[in-house]
Chain A
């Protein structure tokens, strides 16, 4: 078994709150235009 033996209540997150929201963008509303394969994203 890998990892340190510890009750669930002693586990620390594998990802910090900072990382949860780090460099994250919300993606929405794709638009395409004809044959140029251009898309808008946000």
Chain B
């Protein structure tokens, strides 16, 4: 994704000589809008690339040595719906394209399916639906022989990290036969189904067992032949919440061992799992964050990696020699070591005598030395989701703030992923309550430790993190002195009225009731209804095309701040959606936020 090209997504190919070249031609943007978050927007087979183009959401076919791409799906379906496609995968014989299919209607809720396209003709056609009846589908894959298809499915009101089913069926004559549920159901969350080279089905699963010491409470690896067999039994996570398609936390080596990412105590580890021996060994290197793990036939492992002091890059790892090469960096900018603040993973006690986690960064800038008795202002970060996590890996934005004299605490409040099912589920019914308490407790903890100036505390966050900003500023008005809400949720009722199908019941689970009967609780958890408690100024950023948190939500908060005479700034970027993608808007928002904090915390 290239901010400098208005956030355009481009497929880039690295050939065997290491040469990089753009496959995607100007005018195309490889991005799907399925579930609005997208992912899995392309598939490559031999010398052919299939991809979804953002503007029209059609699938295109392009030969890798050609600059021409031709659509193979229609502009509109016969029933008037817009076809959207994600999680694209080509059958082993190259004749079928399998994907998650979402029909978007103008007048009714979207419908989701599994579907295939015949690739022989190259003509434009509507897909053939092969699975329907569930609200959502994800991660369809062919077995290596092409005879089997496995996938995930789930229904409202659950999210994929609550309750999912792993299904498998025989694929023949453009249809699924002998479909059966392999694993999952109520209280089991499954992700990353994969067939190994011998057609054995692997997956990652956890269960709500209510016992954090049980390995079932953690996203562990399993496989299925005629029964489910547990492969790993760690108090660590091999899975991740399914927000986007096309992710990969593990893949198979040529001897059928598994190279996997495992999250534990706030860091990621790269491990090799031997499924026969059920043993696990650590691949040691200085990275602490891994994603998109893929192997080739020669035991090279490819992944996106980052560490505390290195920005994300694509790496290749030779599994025998353990030699690690950087193939592509996410940035050419290199900060001096003396300017980089390293995080400390902290675990602190919460008000209700549980534990929460976070990463603390102290100010660092080689050009300055603070007087010995000086203590820094604090900037609190609250990640989005809320079912997500922060990782303590290098971030230019965090380093911007720490080198500007701020201590930063990045909070993995309860409800975050990477700490087991019980920790993740702790937020169910209690969103805006215990997570807000955890953020406030994190601030109190670092103040009590004498590490930061409690009179200068700022808080920033986007999406659900923006909700957190507004929530803590209204619940703990004396603790936070200024805040920045990026496309944050001020009014939960407005959010539910406007939000899209994928998340339309997410909020119900997080609040513990639904509308209309839960209106009182929704109002109580909405910051907009507590602005009378707000004491501190706020800067609000919003994209005009955001379909997840619509401009109405942010404008409503801005209006309320204005009416109450509280200092605020409202910035709406034309054409931006949920998460700003263009460079200019990102630069502008960070500069405005910095200026706003300085004005409120320091210049005053």
Contact = CB atoms under 8 A, between A and B. Distances in A.
A11 B399 contact: no
B13 A40 contact: yes
B600 interface: no
A28 B246 contact: yes
Contact of A23 (B23, B312, B333): B333
Interface string B58-79: 0000000000000000000000
B53 to A, nearest CB: 13
A17 to B, nearest CB: 4
Contacts of A7: 370-371, 374, 405
Contact of A38 (B16, B39, B370): B16
B233 interface: no
B591 A3 contact: no
For chain A, the bracket of interface size reads: 35 or more
Interface stretch (B200-208, B295-303, B520-528): B295-303
A13 to B, nearest CB: 4
Contacts of A14: 335-336, 339, 365-367, 399, 403
Contacts of B42: 29, 31, 40
Chain A CB within 10 A, most for which of B49, B296, B298, B363 = B296
29 contacts: A3-B366, A3-B369, A11-B367, A11-B368, A11-B403, A14-B366, A17-B587, A18-B587, A20-B586, A20-B587, A23-B331, A25-B331, A27-B312, A27-B328, A27-B330, A28-B292, A29-B246, A29-B247, A30-B248, A30-B292, A32-B294, A32-B296, A35-B296, A38-B14, A38-B15, A39-B302, A40-B12, A40-B49, A42-B30
Closest 8 CB pairs between A and B? A26-B1, A11-B405, A8-B405, A14-B403, A8-B376, A14-B339, A17-B590, A13-B404
Interface of B: 1-4, 9-16, 23, 30, 39-46, 49, 246-248, 292, 294-298, 300, 302-304, 312-314, 327-328, 330-333, 335-336, 338-339, 363, 365-371, 374-377, 396-397, 399-401, 403-406, 456, 583, 586-587, 590-591, 594, 601-602
